[in-house]
Chain A
Amino acid sequence: MTDDHVYLTLAESDHEAEARWAYGTGFADPLLGVDTALAPDVDGADLSLYCQMLGDDALILSQRLIEWCTRAPELEEEVALANLGLDLLGQARLLLSRAGQADGSGRGEDDFAYWRPEHEFRNVRLVEVANGDFAFSVARLLLFATARGALYELLAGAPDPVLRAVAVRGAKELAYHQEYATAWTLRLGDGTAYSAERMQAGLDAVWPLLDELFTPHEVELRLGVDPTALREPVLAALAEVITEARLTVPTALPLARIGGRAGRDGVHTEALGPLLAEFQSVAREHPGATW
């Protein structure tokens, strides 16, 4: 590139686009070559709801990670947190798109993200609560990444080809998320007296929200993807990290449900409403617009 031809670079063809991002974006179609036909024995409505559950988890946690942007403790963490947010956002887009195919409604990713009311969001409450301090965010990420990584491994045998493709790709991403959260749990837990106190407080605060990830919804049971199986291995993996960080595995009880219902049923904490109000505000100011 010479300075006489600054703008020539802008005319370069699209196939080079991926390489132009410093950290990559995964914007290339990850479903290339994946058979997107619905399996005959899978209920489309159930599959759609399940894709919304997992898609909403990823979408809402990515929004919380995005909130760290320009507020992270170090520039390396700015890069890393944005990277995690991008991974989850990518997973959410695939899952929500699949939800619209599965239920036959033809709704796209943005229809789900911007135009559903709060009670139709199916994410667990763990991902929606406010960020808290860095230790709280690390604790939340540790729990989520450990559980979601394990689930994606399970879903490599899922009854839907798109779900399988998302799970295979997502498992690699979640492995990095888990590694990142583990590294910071160790640094904070075994760092200074103050950081250990914050990390323990973070774990204690998120712990009651963990159980929801292992509590099966009827849709999951019908699809044969019972998350109960994750409980033991995930708890064991978490205990190992927490012990190595010289912290105490919390014993707090699961957060109560409301009339038996929680996030997967669309019953949330007070944190989700304001998050969605912000998330959806511009799109809803311009109904029918294309962006």
Chain B
Amino acid sequence: MVQQEQSALEERFDAVVAAEQRIEPRDWMPDAYRATLVRQIAQHAHSEIIGMQPEGNWLTRAPSLRRKAILLAKAQDEAGHGLYLYAAAETLGVDRAELTEKLISGRQKYSSIFNYPTLTFADVGVIGWLVDGAAICNQVPLCRCSYGPYARAMVRVCKEESFHQRQGYELLMTLMRGTEGQRRMVRDAVDRWWWPSLMMFGPPDGDSPNTAQSMAWRIKRHTNDELRQRFVDMTVPQAEHLGVTLPDPALSWNEERGSWDFGEPDWSELQQVIKGNGPCNAERIDRRRAAHEDGAWVREAAVAYAAKQEERNV
């Protein structure tokens, strides 16, 4: 391409982004922008699908039919979120099968939070409250992301996630009003999920090399630490209302900042989980791989049937 044309395209792209308008699939975009989006949207889609597993662990055992229905509807929503996020990624020139292949071969990541186990039914509530809550903090700004298909997908995802969060919180309120055994389950689950939830926002800003570029491209709107602070500030009063103590002795109100001070997560644990040594990394990928491989003959049959139908209709 002639140098002049190239720089004109870049200028136009920069102007669209700067004006808070949307880049659409047919528009020219820098290769690195495209690659960043593919990576991020794929990781997000993978997280929805892998994220069905920890809660799915309790579907067959949910202790009331109402909770079973709510949990099943949530799992169904997550599969749906995965579907439309994969569709958003496909507008960038990749396809779902290729992304799934990268997931099960470990070449693409999903949110590390899903590498933690769900050990009691209260975990279902805590995942709704804390994990979906943190996801909402991360995702609501993405509704204004510069890439149109991703931004539009996120509007729908966020609405549904906020409902999931409320359902989770409502479950916890019910358990806290229940028996001592139920309250114990909630406290135990909060103790286990609090720090991993804080780590969902990624490493501290100083160790997050991609943040500046993503913010310049208006993919990202806030730094990891800003979002983490926002999450803590919103969650502390909810914990008080619920009647649980968050497992951080350093948690205290800072009058000057008008925010809560909080302790430092164990970043070495996050690194371990990211590197594949989390409590459930192997199980999560194994399950996804098994579903994909066990289903191969079914997908092949559907393709063969469609081809035969087309042939007969000629």
Contacts and interface: CB of A to CB of B under 8 A. Distances in A.
B181 A286 contact: yes
Given A78-B79, A192-B301, A291 B174 contact: yes
Interface centre among A71, A78, A96 (most CB of B within 10 A): A78
A20 interface: yes
Contacts of B52: 69-70, 78
Interface in A222-273: none
A82 B295 contact: no
A152 B207 CA distance: 61
A191 B303 CA distance: 8
B53 A70 contact: yes
Interface residues of B, number: 75
A105 interface: no
Given A195-B300, A289-B178, A86 B64 contact: no
Contacts of A17: 163
Contact of A134 (B61, B67, B77, B298): B298
A290 B177 CA distance: 9
A79 interface: yes
Contact of A188 (B64, B177, B301, B303): B301
Contacts of B63: 114, 282-283, 286, 289, 291
Main secondary structure of the interface of B (DSSP, over half): helix
Contacts of B160: 20-22
Nearest to B171: A291
Nearest to A109: B65
A23 B304 contact: no
Contact of B140 (A1, A70, A279): A1
Contacts of B290: 71
A9 B65 contact: no
A40 interface: no
Interface string B50-81: 00110010111111111111101101110111
A72 B287 CA distance: 11
Given A82-B76, A83-B76, A291 B166 contact: no
Interface centre among A21, A63, A290 (most CB of B within 10 A): A21
Contacts of B69: 25, 27, 86, 89-90, 93
Interface string A177-194: 000000000111011101
Given A1-B143, A7-B234, A191 B304 contact: yes
Interface string A56-89: 0001000100110111111111110011011001
A38 B203 CA distance: 63
A234 B153 CA distance: 43
Contacts of B218: none
7 contacts: A1-B155, A73-B295, A79-B79, A89-B69, A96-B65, A191-B302, A278-B61
Interface of B: 49, 52-53, 56, 58-70, 72-73, 75-77, 79-83, 86, 96, 121, 136-137, 140-141, 143-144, 155-156, 158-160, 162-163, 165-166, 169, 171, 174-175, 177-179, 181-182, 221-222, 230, 234, 287-288, 290-291, 294-305, 308
